Amino acid sequence: MSAAAATVSQHDLVVRQFAPRAAAYASSPTHASGPDLTDFQSLLRIAPADRMLDLGCGGGHASFHAAAFADHIVAYDLSRAMLDVVAAGAVERGLCNIATRQGRAEELPFADGSFDLVVSRYSAHHWRDVPRSLAEAVRVLRPGGRCIIMDVFAPADPLLDSHLQTIEMVRDPSHVRNYSLAEWRHMLTGAGLVPQAPQTYRLPIAFESWMERIGTPTAHRPALASLQAGAAPEVKDHFAIQPDGSFRLDTMLIQARRG
């Protein structure tokens, strides 16, 4: 299979996976709130944005939280179904400064320097080519503009990393990879950004709703329960795995600036 065909295949898989679940992600308490969004708003309160791009906007929660601190926001996603729920959510909230646009993270349909802030939350682990997507984000940022990434990050320990990537893939076949903090710093720097020290969090995950939200195939659910129950003690300790399979994820907020 050619590289181009592989890229299309991954993007199609993401759309097929998320289109039927758009409403679930729009209403998910895990996605609609959190300390990362509180800290995100604090950053915007200090330095509001003129034009913001919400890259891989999902249910639109980053856009909604930014709406009071940005003049114009473009919520951008691969899934039309997701964009429809974002547009509806903006209307329900009386937010007139959010527009939607469909497309890939790796190919942004915007002119150079179109935005002074690019934000992405819980999306990058589905991107086929993160370095290319970051290069595009930098291209559409004006000089001195900011990029803020909020996502799950992988532990540096190989044992812990392997467990995380495995349960993510079994739960959701469109998952590509959760990257470590070191990998994120390397990719951001490689794209021409200057990253600040990350803020990190521990996100509680209820096992059953975690599977239900994405529509994990019924056949995969016993495998996930088995992986959680049979994990090594070090894995159970790090992820705080509970008897019912519930656990905690490491998440982060990294702010970086274009030179």
pLDDT in tens, 92-120: 999 999 999 999 999 999 999 999 999 99
Mean predicted confidence (pLDDT) in 124-153? 97
Beta bridge partners of 247: 205
Q: What tokens appear for 16 in the block?
A: 């097929």
Burial 144-183 (b: 16+ CB within 10 A, else e): ebbbbbbbbbbbeeeebbebbbebbebbbebbbbbbbbee
Q: What tokens appear for 39 in the block?
A: 């800290």
What pLDDT band is residue 131 in, cutting at 50, 70 and 90? very high
**Which range is least confidently modeled, 9-18, 135-144, 192-201, 237-246?**
9-18
pLDDT at 9 over 90: no
Measured CA to CA, the distance from residue 107 to residue 174 in angstroms comes to 19
Angle made by CA atoms 247, 251, 252, in degrees to the nearest 5: 165
Question: Using one digit for the tens of pLDDT, what is the confidence trace for 57-80?
Answer: 999 999 999 999 999 999 999 999
Contacts of 11 (CB under 8 A, 6+ apart): 78, 104, 128
Determine phi and psi for 210, rounding to 5 degrees.
-60, -45
The domain spans of the chain are 3-155+174-204+252-258
Fold for the domain defined by 3-155+174-204+252-258:
Rossmann fold (3.40.50)
**pLDDT value of position 5:** 44
What pLDDT band is residue 33 in, cutting at 50, 70 and 90? confident
Average pLDDT, the chain: 92
